Structure 1
Amino acid sequence: MAMVVKNNIPAKNTLNQLDKNDKALAKSLKKVSSGMKINSAEDDASGYSISEKMRTQMRSLEQDIDNAQTGASMLKVAEGGVQSTVDILSTLKEKVINAANDTNTDADRATIQKELDQAVDQLDENANVQYNGKIMLDGSHNNYVKSPGTLTTLVNESLSTNIAEDDLLTDLTDVAGRSLGIKMDSVIEISYVRQGETHLLRMDPVGLNEVQTLLTGCVSTDGTDVDDVMSVSINSTIGVDRVGSPVNSVNGEKAVIFTAKNPGLDGQISGLTFNVIEKDGSINRTANAVLNNYYEAIKAENPSPDNALVFQVGTKANQAIKMGFSDVRSEALGLRGKDGSTLSITSQMKANAAISVLDLALSKVLDVQTTIGSVESRMEYTMANLTTANENTNSAESVIRDADMAKEMTTYTKNNVLTQAAQSMLAQANQNSSAVLSLLQ
């Protein structure tokens, strides 16, 4: 090898290798100190991009979990208001059953009425329960209800499925084919409650009246025209729900249907009671049990835009749980009229009619409570699912980005030794040029 001084090629080669070792050592040191094998896009462009997407996903999932938790908290507040309403309605039913007992005088019933009035006021307080300024149970956050609103629809499926509108009342049988025992000389009293007022209809005697005249064949004791209030029909299609879709009977067979003539809360029938009385004044318990065994298939609701609450629990748009809160104010429950008049129990007849009102009101509130409870349960599953998804995404991101510390320490040690060796060899290469001086002496 020629001895030169102008260009020390071995030193330059060694310096180049030292630079490479220094850079490799710096990268290893960064990975060991940070605990990540990808610290920037320079380390692994595709891996860095995937990892950042996963990190965004994890942050979104954490916010979803927080959303689900606050949503569950809101539902707990609403459930508390509904439970208080259930408790009040249960107490009120006890009171009206007591008022319907003729061991009480009308003065006693007037005292019970005062208790009922105060309890009804509390129902409206319960409906105004708030979370973060949102009133939840007053109907302001109801689902969409198509105009002009829904009609109260009471359905009785306890009568024979072969029933027809022109069948005589005296021929009525239950679903098992057993006669109700209604005779031509029997009397049928029908009480109904609308706008907090109790009305009485009377068919005396039954005679040859048909099912279709069950209401119109009666005489109103207060001059009210029942034709303007409700109608009776027999069909398997009950009516239409809040969005205009048809509603059928539970068993798909023909049922006796009592439908309010006017939609919304203004036309709501909040209680309906039948009482079949024999000629001798005794009560036909068999007929009464069957005729009063109805349920509210469609509740009266005023038209409403879609104001249901949306709980965002997903990382994409519209991955949400949506829930509307029905109106549970005293008016919506049929305990108070729009003029502020409260359900009256000042007589035995009115107190007896009020029992059916409380039954329907309790059914409405329990339906709301069931809906809230089911969404609460779903929120628990949602939170568990989001937590699992967050953990799995975190694990996947760790595989891409986290450093294997044992491996990186091995690499760091290797690069450290190589750097020190290159430094030593650079010094040696620089010494080689000094040998030329011996030729110049």
Structure 2
Amino acid sequence: MIINHNIAALNTHRQMGSAQSAQMNNMEKLSSGLRINSAKDDAAGLTISEKMRGQIRGLEQGSRNAQDGISLIQTAEGALSETQDILQRMRELAVQAANDTNAGSDRRVLQEEMGQLVKEIDRISTSTEFNTQKLVDGSFKSSFQIGANENQKLDLTINAINSSSLGLAAGVEVETGVAATGTAKLTEGIYSIKGSDLVDAAGQKVAALTGGTTLTTAGGSTYTFGAIDVGDTVTIGKDGKASLTKDLDTGKTNTNLAGGTYTISNSGTDVLKDGEKIGTYAAATSVITFTDTSKGSIDLNDTFGMVAPVADGTFTVKAVDVSSHEQAAATITAINTAIESVSSERSKLGATQNRLDHTINNLNTSAENLTAAESRIRDVDYAEAA
């Protein structure tokens, strides 16, 4: 008989402690709703569950990212939609101007509206933004993170949609009023440089180009310019004088000068547009430096492939032109091409938006199924724990 220890009491205390611990553990599960509240509950299950939680939250954020991407695309597509509406109006004006029932004053009014519409296209291009990011000026090239893991992305590039990229800047009319020497002058009309020949609208050779400066007709009449290149256009007016429109060099764009006539005055140092000084001209380098420094500096030779304008002379930046039947007809074609370019860009954005719609559906489905799997590991079964 042992009287120093009460084994029955110790056993009862131990059993009570175990029951109390189990009761507390069950109460923790029931109150939290979780089967695993700490690593001791299920170390392996905790690791698997946390990995699944990371995936679930990543999928849910990826879905939100895709929705933000759709909002960005809708902003860009809205801008392009408005640009296309502008181009349709410009085409309407060009068709109207091509009709010779219009007098010169009528076409000048049509040209004024055309010029304002071109400026609005450029304004839309530079001012359309999403979260301070410019969308349609050619600088947008980004990736949307549409998954929970690295490299699960969708790349998107939006091309520039402005007057230059749409081919609405036709060239620069450099020299005007060049008179012919000799008697066999060319008749009124528009001619173009093809190789070393000047050809008429029907493609027939009417003069030969020599030295890159001189056009000589079969009758010996000559027109001499500063420089003539393939693709340039020569216009013979009613007065028999010739003007030269320089074709934009390959890869060059008119990014700073709007359409219209510019005057170089004050012995060739000031550049005027509509009587207002816009900058200064350095004849030695053929560079216009704009008074508004935000417009930067433009090299006439590099940008337009043109010879330096003469002091106290004029040069004309040719944008879309409806000043004559021929020019208006050519403008119709140019605008058709521009409309196709915008349509192509809108189609690309629409296809990307549709893709993101499917992406969101897939991400939401994956997150839902993964949540169910994670729940089976992490969440408590109330019927079992009660």
Give TM-score scaled by structure 1 length: 0.53
Shift in Å at residue 5 of structure 1?
2.1
In structure 2, C-alpha distance between the alignment counterparts of 1:395 and 1:313, rounded to whole Å: 21
Q: Return the structure number with greater strand share.
A: 2
Report the equivalent of 1:131.
130
The question of 1:378 aligning with 2:317 is answered no
Letter in 1 for 2:101: T
Shift in Å at residue 338 of structure 1?
5.8
Report the equivalent of 1:26.
24
Letter in 2 for 1:404: D
Contact 2:58 2:149 in 1 (8 A): no
Shift in Å at residue 396 of structure 1?
0.7
In structure 2, stretches of 5+ residues that fail to align are 170-254, 260-318
Letter in 1 for 2:142: L
Q: Quick one: which of 37, 58, 61 aligns to 2:56?
A: 58
Letter in 2 for 1:331: S
Contact 1:67 1:313 in 2 (8 A): yes
The question of 1:320 aligning with 2:153 is answered yes
The question of 1:399 aligning with 2:376 is answered yes
Shift in Å at residue 38 of structure 1?
1.2
Shift in Å at residue 332 of structure 1?
0.9
Letter in 2 for 1:364: S
Letter in 1 for 2:163: S
Greater RCO, 1 or 2 (C-alpha within 8 Å, sep 6+): 1
Instruction: Please give the root-mean-square deviation of Cα atoms over the aligned residues, in Å.
Output: 1.2
In structure 2, C-alpha distance between the alignment counterparts of 1:55 and 1:326, rounded to whole Å: 39
- Partner SS for 1:48: helix
* Aligned 1:281-300 pairs, distance under 5 A: none
* Aligned 1:8-407 pairs, distance under 5 A: 8-128=6-126, 129-141=128-140, 308-336=141-169, 339-341=257-259, 342-407=319-384
Report the equivalent of 1:240.
none
Q: Deviations over 1:309-354 (max 9, x none)?
A: 1111111111111010111111111112764322111000000011
Shift in Å at residue 106 of structure 1?
2.2
Q: Deviations over 1:14-38 (max 9, x none)?
A: 2111111111111111111111111
In our comparison, the structure showing a higher alpha carbon Rg is 1
Contact 1:60 1:315 in 2 (8 A): yes
Contact 1:58 1:390 in 2 (8 A): yes
Report the equivalent of 2:193.
none
Report the equivalent of 1:195.
none
Report the equivalent of 1:300.
none
- Partner SS for 1:309: strand
Q: Deviations over 1:211-235 (max 9, x none)?
A: xxxxxxxxxxxxxxxxxxxxxxxxx
In structure 2, C-alpha distance between the alignment counterparts of 1:387 and 1:313, rounded to whole Å: 11
In structure 2, C-alpha distance between the alignment counterparts of 1:56 and 1:317, rounded to whole Å: 13
Contact 1:32 1:405 in 2 (8 A): yes
Contact 1:93 1:358 in 2 (8 A): yes
Of all paired residues, the percent bearing the same amino acid is: 38
- Partner SS for 2:41: coil
Shift in Å at residue 40 of structure 1?
1.2
In structure 1, C-alpha distance between the alignment counterparts of 2:85 and 2:34, rounded to whole Å: 58
Give TM-score scaled by structure 2 length: 0.61
In structure 2, C-alpha distance between the alignment counterparts of 1:344 and 1:35, rounded to whole Å: 74
In structure 2, C-alpha distance between the alignment counterparts of 1:404 and 1:318, rounded to whole Å: 37
- Partner SS for 1:395: helix
- Partner SS for 1:41: coil
In structure 1, C-alpha distance between the alignment counterparts of 2:139 and 2:355, rounded to whole Å: 23
Q: Which runs of at least 4 in structure 1 moved beyond 4 Å after TM superposition?
A: none
In structure 2, C-alpha distance between the alignment counterparts of 1:39 and 1:97, rounded to whole Å: 76
Contact 1:331 1:338 in 2 (8 A): no
